[in-house]
Amino acid sequence: MAKRPHIVAVPYPAQGHVKPLLSLSYKLAAHGIKVTFVNTKMIHERVISSLLDDDKEALEQSGIKLESVDDGLEGEKNPFDAEIFTQAIRRMMPTQLRDLIERINICNKDEQVTCVIADATLGWILEVAEIFGVEKVGFLPFGPAGLAMFITCIPKLIEDGIMDSITGSIPENEQIRISKDIPSWSNRDLMWTSPGDEKLQKVFFECCLTVKETAENVDLLLCNTFYELDIFASNLIPKMMPIGPLQIERNSPSSGNFWVEDTSCLSWLDSQLPASVIYVSFGSTGVFNQEQFNELALGLELSRKPFLWVVREGINLNYPEGFIENVTHRGKIVHWAPQRRVLGHPAIGCFLSHCGWNSIMEGLISGVPFLCWPYFADQWHNQKYICDIWKCGLRVNCDENGIRSRHEINMKIQKLFSDSIMKVNALKLKDLAEESVSKGGSSYMNLDKFINHIKY
Ligand code: UDP
């Protein structure tokens, strides 16, 4: 009889990476695969302390084991310097992971590690899989288009002198196009572009180059998308296996949070009319200045619609005078929401989103149209998919000072709510997403193929 497979899953230490890989781990564990899920120490502690009782139970029943490795930042004065952080995890994680796998293999002779799944941004960690001679699998937590572009364009653009080889910048008037069916990239749309912060941009560009190398070196690349959503980009990536959307079940365990979910918003949503509420969330990294924060609050107030707004704790901004009193009967503010469950609630009418990839997947499987508010990374390019390709959302545009004004916000809210086409398109995408993960669908079959590959 074949030995029980044992996967070690290693996400990048950020919210939008930990949650989808943990969702995948639940699916694998449900098929009898043993999973050890490895966070850095700091993230491990945050995840553990944010678990709700239900999540603890789900985790226990799943058999997934949460482990941690040192991120090498202990005693570091400025742990949030992206360059120091990246160097530290690059230095520490492979040796730490090797020691962990060695310990696991000694203690569990019958359940030795048979596969490592690494976030594609940490592809170098798969050198550890090579040491143990086990399967090397990458996990892509963003859409396939970005990677398709890295693979097909970056070397040539650098060779032709169009792309800067250190920062990855291209001239302002340049557009990168890989197919007529895939939106082009201007400099702003590039995943690593960080205006005004060249050091950060270099770190992000290196990270994207790692993703490219990972895709070229892995045995398989799992991606949180479904094939029908972007056939053109998926076809450009050789070992690509789309297996998403991963959070398809509205009530699937939501562990992996860095903050404690405030579930009181679910009963608040129960008291709202169907398709009436604007859900406002900018993921785990969105930051605002006071002026933009005010405009958003006042735009929501002007809309006269009910809203549920996630304002992360410690953001240190003040609401405009009178705002809280004025919206008290139709606004709910939480520090962290059970987002998948919120989006699947019938009261949600639209999603004002930063267009992070997980948020997009969660919005699509809920059939909710988007108001797009990108600011960073792949979000600008994701916006193009939502508005121009899938046609299930509208842009909230910046004015000449880079601010999204209260009037623009209100105008787009009214427009979206009165436009039935966006909703129809969103529901079509929901059906497609559901089909892909249902028996016989593309993501279902890919996951099945992967599981069988790992098992036998
Ligand atoms: N999320 C959540 N509660 C919130 C806000 C976000 O659970 O109040 C989750 C969301 O469901 C998603 C993840 O955090 O799974 C954010 O990932 P995304 O790729 O959308 O954005 P990022 O945080 O990486 O920018």
Distance 173 CA to ligand 1 centre (A): 32
> Cα–Cα distance between 320 and 197 in angstroms, integer?
30
Q: Tell me the best of 204, 340, 359 to mutate to test the pocket of ligand 1, counting ligand atoms within 8 Å of each CB and taking the most.
A: 359
Average pLDDT (179-206) is: 94
Distance 318 CA to ligand 1 centre (A): 23
Check pocket membership of 377 for ligand 1, CB cut-off 6 A: no
Q: Looking at ligand 1, which atom is closest to the CA of residue 261?
A: 3
> Cα–Cα distance between 16 and 436 in angstroms, integer?
22
Residue 96 has a pLDDT of: 96
Whether the per-residue pLDDT at 114 is higher than 60: the answer is: yes
> Cα–Cα distance between 301 and 305 in angstroms, integer?
8
3-class SS at 119? strand
Average pLDDT (261-286) is: 96
The HSE-up count of residue 405 (CA atoms within 13 Å, CB side) is 6
- What tens digit of pLDDT does each residue of 55-64 get? 899 999 998 9
Residue 436 has a pLDDT of: 97
Average pLDDT (304-326) is: 95
Q: Looking at ligand 1, which atom is closest to the CA of residue 286?
A: 25
Check pocket membership of 414 for ligand 1, CB cut-off 6 A: no
Average pLDDT (178-204) is: 94
- From the number of C-beta atoms within 10 Å of its C-beta (0-12, 13-18, 19+), residue 277 rates as buried
- 10 Å Cβ neighbour count for 417? 18
Residue 258 has a pLDDT of: 95
Take residue 350 and report the two structure tokens written for it: 């639209």
Whether the per-residue pLDDT at 251 is higher than 80: the answer is: no
Check pocket membership of 284 for ligand 1, CB cut-off 6 A: yes
Residue 79 has a pLDDT of: 54
Average pLDDT (215-242) is: 97
Do residues 41 and 71 make contact, with C-beta atoms less than 8 angstroms apart? yes
Residue 315 has a pLDDT of: 86
Distance 137 CA to ligand 1 centre (A): 24
Residue 211 has a pLDDT of: 97
Residue 82 has a pLDDT of: 84
Q: Looking at ligand 1, which atom is closest to the CA of residue 360?
A: 20
What residues pair up with 9 in beta bridges, in sequence order? 37, 117
Q: Tell me the best of 281, 339, 364, 382 to mutate to test the pocket of ligand 1, counting ligand atoms within 8 Å of each CB and taking the most.
A: 339
Distance 66 CA to ligand 1 centre (A): 20
> For residue 249, which phi and psi values (nearest 5 degrees)?
-80, 130
Check pocket membership of 339 for ligand 1, CB cut-off 6 A: yes
Give the pLDDT band (50/70/90) at residue 1. low
* Secondary structure letter of residue 273 according to DSSP: P
Distance 284 CA to ligand 1 centre (A): 6
The CA distances from residue 448 to 141, 279, 379, 406, 438, in Å, are 19, 34, 30, 48, 11
Distance 27 CA to ligand 1 centre (A): 19
Residue 27 has a pLDDT of: 94
Distance 304 CA to ligand 1 centre (A): 26
Give the pLDDT band (50/70/90) at residue 2. low
What residues pair up with 8 in beta bridges, in sequence order? 36, 116
Q: Please indicate, yes or no, whether the overall pTM of this predicted structure exceeds 0.90.
A: yes
Check pocket membership of 358 for ligand 1, CB cut-off 6 A: yes
> Which residues touch 10 (CB under 8 Å, ≥6 apart)?
38, 93, 97, 116, 117, 118, 119, 122, 125
- What tens digit of pLDDT does each residue of 75-100 get? 665 557 888 888 889 999 999 999 99
Give the pLDDT band (50/70/90) at residue 109. confident
Minimal CA–CA distance to 141: which of 42, 255, 272, 247?
247
Mean pLDDT of the chain: 94
Whether the per-residue pLDDT at 252 is higher than 80: the answer is: no
Residue 76 has a pLDDT of: 61
- What tens digit of pLDDT does each residue of 134-149 get? 999 999 999 999 999 9
> Cα–Cα distance between 368 and 362 in angstroms, integer?
9
Distance 106 CA to ligand 1 centre (A): 37
Residue 3 has a pLDDT of: 77
Distance 250 CA to ligand 1 centre (A): 15
Query: Comparing 106-110, 316-320, 346-350, which segment has the lowest mean pLDDT?
Result: 106-110
Check pocket membership of 244 for ligand 1, CB cut-off 6 A: no
Residue 247 has a pLDDT of: 78
Give the pLDDT band (50/70/90) at residue 26. very high
- What tens digit of pLDDT does each residue of 386-426 get? 999 999 999 999 999 999 999 999 999 999 999 999 999 99
Between 118 and 85, the more confident residue is 118
* Secondary structure letter of residue 266 according to DSSP: H
